[in-house]
Structure 1
Amino acid sequence: MDLSTVNELELPATFDAHVHLRDGEMSQLVTPTIRRGGANQVYVMPNLIPPITTVQQCLEYRDRLRAIESNIDYLMSLYLHESITPETIREAKKAGITGVKSYPAGVTTNSSLGVVDYEIFYPVFEEMEKQNMILNLHGEVPSTPPHAHSSTTSNTLAITILNAEPAFLPTLQTLHTRFPRLRIILEHCSTSAALAAVKACGPTVAGTITAHHLSLIIDDWAGDPFCFCKPVAKTPEDRDALLRAVVDGSGRYFLGTDSAPHDSRKKRGEDKIAAGVFTQPYATGLVLDALEKGIERKVIKKEDVTIEKLEGFLGDWGRKFYGVEDMGGERIVLRRGKEEIVGVLKKEGVGVEVVPFRRGERTWGVTWK
């Protein structure tokens, strides 16, 4: 398919396998934008403050989301924490909770209570394997503190945000080897090495790819706080590998936007920039835009982009891995250039504002059939 000649496209509704909807006022602002971006099913991250570590907290959170926007299927997750036990996993499975999200301690937003040692959770992973629940991995290791390496450890590789993902990949392999039937997702792959690590594993391992990583490279976020996320965008070669993975037809990779809203003041008005790129209202269109740019740069061929592969990456492959049906069989129509990305997302009576990715530009508009 030559996307440059297509002005209208009909597809099944998108399944977004990785979203941050926050809570309180922020949730009131961003949750209604899910359908605007073409999705009717989402997998919700649990890194609230405090994190979602109990079944009751998780179900109450889902109720709050449903009260904001009822026409969405919210798949829910728990935050991997030392309080999680095999009994918690059994209780979660009975309650319809889908999976458990692992954050290495300190690597990203609200991860201070995350994992330091994966081995202590082996009984939890064993029970998850039995219960057919999904383990979602934020695939990075924490950066090495400044001056942590003395002359006696000079041969030790220092960890920065640029190599934090490759440094994590042996952990993925270890977990898969130890629990081969455990369904694992390496979230928001940002390097060619991560893609290769997923493919080197068996079919119980998959990877998500965000809309923004299909467009960004290191130069973009280095000069724009609204393009800064964790994991950071890497090299042009890594970005191009992600584009090829979208259309490789293997079904091992699917969309998880990692759309992560932060109040605009936390992106440009404080000492430290919050990590997160907000794409939710434009998610499906942004993927199409990135693929078109990939064709222009000759990274992928126009014939690589087919309806079947678009349907797979945007919904079918993720739903199959998660074992869920498309909610209601809804379909969307995308029209080229019909949506202008707002400069600031805001809502009357809500005290937070969010700046979206590619603010002020145009993308594909979404209407529901």
Structure 2
Amino acid sequence: MTLRRPDDWHVHLRDGPMLASVVNYTARQFARAIVMPNLSPPITTIAAAKAYRDRILAALEPGRVFQPLMTCYLTDTIEASEVEHGFVEGVFTACKLYPAHATTNSDHGVTDVRKIYPVLEVMQNIGMPLLLHGEVTDRHVDIFDREAVFIERILGKLIRDFPGLKVVFEHITTVDAVAFVEAGGPNLAATITPHHLAINRNAMFEGGIRPHFYCLPVAKRETHRLALRRAATSGSAKFFLARTPPPCGRRQGVGVRVRGNLQRPSRWKAMRRCSMKRMRSGLSKPFRQKMVLASTAWHPMRAWSFWSDLPV
């Protein structure tokens, strides 16, 4: 079967030995990908983004054609001028908002969205997209409710304050998020992962604790999964693909990993099964390259050479 090479609008490539191990999984099937900036230290400057892009390209297989689209990690103190210059120069494709302590390497994330309002104003003016991890970090909020509470407490006001800002609500997991995006204006979109289309929260507990199905945002009830499937197959350009494969080391004696080793065996099967035929956004252009899919055997690694990473 031959089809155009798609773009992946949310990928974690990490760095160092892990980058070299995983980047070609993405590059073999995707023409371009939005690369997440939550390294340690995070990608907060033009220079850091350029250097990271060079490391990604250097890790590609010989002859492999792949375009990493770099993002800027927002902090409480980031300079609006750095963000603007990076976008104008074509280094930054978008900015990523991590609520502080919401996920992997988010310690430097935003503690109060009002602190970055000057940056968001600039982004709105220049047409630079904002990608956001939509969960509150209040420990008194149930982990299964953190996305819905984020909409109520933060995202609704942000959209009202910056109606011209391009916002991508990333890896949504709830019917609340689907409804919010559907009701929003043309500048609001969302990504959906194959992981959240394929399972509900029962998968983490069937037959005991199954850590390979754990991720953030965590999978929700079946009613939410069905809402995601409806959105993904609706044909609406507001909903598009984010594979979000977070490569994570397994801690010895603990066995904590995420999403069954990058979702590599299941990503096309899951997308085909869910009929995700229109996975593009205002960020994307029509797919420009073609690829041929072939069935090949794949076996998960029995051991990993990296252990220090934490799960997303």
| TM more than 0.5 | yes
Tell me the residue number matched to 1:254.
240
Q: Structure 1 residues 217, 339: closer, same or farther in 2, change over 3 A?
A: farther
Q: Aligned letter for 1:15?
A: D
1:136-164 Cα deviation digits (max 9, x unpaired): 010001141xxxxxxxxxxxxx4121111
Q: Structure 1 residues 280, 215: closer, same or farther in 2, change over 3 A?
A: closer
Tell me the residue number matched to 1:332.
291
Contact 1:214 1:290 (8 Å CA) reproduced: no
Aligned equivalents of 2:271 and 2:258: distance in 1? 24
Contact 1:143 1:161 (8 Å CA) reproduced: no
Contact 2:127 2:166 (8 Å CA) reproduced: yes
Q: Aligned letter for 2:72?
A: L
Tell me the residue number matched to 1:269.
253
1:342-369 Cα deviation digits (max 9, x unpaired): 22277xxx8238xxxxxxxxxxxxxxxx
Aligned equivalents of 2:195 and 2:225: distance in 1? 10
Counterpart check, 1:207 vs 2:165:
no
| 1:159 match: secondary structure | coil
| 1:74 match: secondary structure | strand
| 2:31 match: secondary structure | strand
State the superposition RMSD in angstroms: 2.1
Aligned equivalents of 1:190 and 1:276: distance in 2? 15
| 2:236 match: secondary structure | coil
Aligned equivalents of 2:167 and 2:35: distance in 1? 16
Q: How does 1:306-321 map to 2 (within 5 A)?
A: 310=277, 312-313=278-279, 317-318=280-281, 321=282
Aligned equivalents of 2:119 and 2:83: distance in 1? 7
Tell me the residue number matched to 2:219.
233
Residue ranges of structure 2 left out of the alignment (5+ in a row) = 308-312
Counterpart check, 1:342 vs 2:299:
yes
Q: Aligned letter for 1:343?
A: P
Aligned equivalents of 1:17 and 1:115: distance in 2? 22
- Relative to its length, the structure with more helix (as a share) is 1
TM-score (norm 2): 0.89
> Shift of residue 128 of structure 1?
0.5
| 1:99 match: secondary structure | strand
Contact 2:203 2:210 (8 Å CA) reproduced: yes
Tell me the residue number matched to 1:165.
147
Aligned equivalents of 2:270 and 2:227: distance in 1? 15
Counterpart check, 1:102 vs 2:105:
no
Aligned equivalents of 1:203 and 1:277: distance in 2? 35
Residue ranges of structure 1 left out of the alignment (5+ in a row) = 1-8, 145-157, 292-304, 354-369
Aligned equivalents of 1:166 and 1:180: distance in 2? 20
Aligned equivalents of 1:35 and 1:161: distance in 2? 33
Q: Structure 1 residues 286, 279: closer, same or farther in 2, change over 3 A?
A: farther
Contact 1:34 1:280 (8 Å CA) reproduced: no
Q: Structure 1 residues 113, 64: closer, same or farther in 2, change over 3 A?
A: same
Aligned equivalents of 1:68 and 1:233: distance in 2? 32
1:242 to 206, 214, 228: 228
> Shift of residue 213 of structure 1?
0.7
Q: Which has the larger radius of gyration?
A: 1
Q: Structure 1 residues 249, 59: closer, same or farther in 2, change over 3 A?
A: same
Percent sequence identity is 34
Q: Structure 1 residues 345, 61: closer, same or farther in 2, change over 3 A?
A: farther
> Shift of residue 332 of structure 1?
2.4
Aligned equivalents of 2:87 and 2:236: distance in 1? 29
Contact 1:53 1:83 (8 Å CA) reproduced: no
Contact 2:12 2:246 (8 Å CA) reproduced: yes
Counterpart check, 1:194 vs 2:177:
yes
> Shift of residue 220 of structure 1?
1.1
Counterpart check, 1:17 vs 2:9:
yes
TM-score (norm 1): 0.76
> Shift of residue 276 of structure 1?
5.7
Kindly tell me the number of residue pairs found equivalent between the two proteins.
Answer: 299
